[in-house]
Copies of this chain bind each other. A is one copy, B any other.
């Protein structure tokens, strides 16, 4: 395990201490618990938006707490869910009478603990909480039919949901309206990833799986969940083609659509490679007659030192476009 760390058991809390030292203008914590992260810029009367999930995915999840996006984040251990108490404490702190919206990824532990936190907030503090669970990884399950539960994992595309819901809340829309927008955004995002190397949970000390030196794992999740297939590494353009073949027909994204595109490095993949990928996505979407409104290229949702990347497409209409374009400022996301 080649990591720049101290004791593995202190990994998350020391990372958080560094974050609070570096970004006091954006973030602080509540309930004397480093893992109950909240905004330093609470806005009176605004709907609060709370997220959370396991550590090891920076900038996800906490990196989007700030102006125009989220108000709080419940920070779990590496790849572990935060506790119901943490959810409750963050909820209490960010609520200012307008209620709280939870937006988090589709993982069982998170659902369980956020639901328990919401119950505590309702029972003990009479805070109204609504929830939107984001799950947009096309490689992780078949699409849900009408009325069926969504079994897809939430990955990098959740950032688009944060952005639009956050902008709506910043416009002082009410909880029902912010929830409607979050649901609409979540319904219009699709993501797929590819991994070239595994990653190591510090307290475990070795990777939970391997990917051969000349292989890649198409469709792998950000905790190393199995994807669609493992195979020889192919040229960047061929990898992008295979991913778009799966993403494009899913909503579907079709000629005349307008989208935002996120190319997300999983942790160890250089920006150079992410832009080589961007080049081919741009070419392919032009061929398909799909207009790109905005690109986001960089690290948005990682798996520590995993090499690989994901592509997210986000289908826009006028309402989502305006919300996406609104200014925002967090430690990891700045848009003028």
A residues near B (Cβ < 8 Å) are: 2-7, 11, 14-19, 21-23, 55-56, 58-59, 194, 196-197, 213-214, 233, 235-237, 239, 267-279, 282, 295, 297-299, 302, 304-305, 307-309, 329, 332, 334-336
Name the one of B277, B299, B329 contacting A4, with C-beta atoms under 8 angstroms. Answer: B277
- Determine how close the nearest CB of chain B comes to the CB of A327; give it in whole angstroms: 8
Please state if B2 and A295 are interface contacts (CB–CB under 8 Å).
no
Q: Which of A22, A237, A270, A307 has its CB near the most chain B CB atoms (within 10 A)?
A: A270
9 cross-chain CB contacts under 8 A: A2-B214, A4-B196, A4-B239, A14-B236, A15-B272, A18-B276, A18-B279, A18-B282, A268-B270
Known: A3-B273, A11-B276, A270-B302. 20 other contacts (CB 8 A): A2-B196, A2-B214, A4-B239, A4-B276, A4-B277, A4-B309, A6-B237, A14-B275, A15-B275, A15-B276, A17-B282, A21-B295, A22-B278, A56-B270, A56-B272, A58-B272, A267-B268, A268-B307, A271-B299, A298-B332
Contact assessment for A5 and B58 in the assembled complex, using a CB-CB cutoff below 8 Å: no
CA gap between A196 and B305 in the complex, in Å: 12
Known A55-B272, A273-B4: A279·B334 in contact at CB below 8 Å: no
How many copies of the chain does the oligomer comprise?
2
Q: Which of B2, B16, B233, B271 contacts A233 (CB 8 A)?
A: B2
The answer to whether residues A275 and B19 also contact, given A4-B239, A197-B2, A213-B2 and a CB cut-off of 8 A, is yes
In Å, the complex CA distance between A237 and B277 comes to 36
Given contacts A213-B2, A268-B267, A277 and B196 within 8 Å (CB-CB):
no
Q: Which residues of B contact A4 (CB under 8 A)?
A: 194, 196, 233, 236, 239, 269, 273, 276-277, 308-309
Q: Quick check: B336 and A5 within 8 Å, CB to CB?
A: no
A205 CB to closest chain B CB, in angstroms?
13
In the complex, what residue of chain B is closest to A14 when comparing beta carbons? B276
Query: In the bound complex, how far is the Cα of B6 from the Cα of A236, in angstroms?
Result: 5
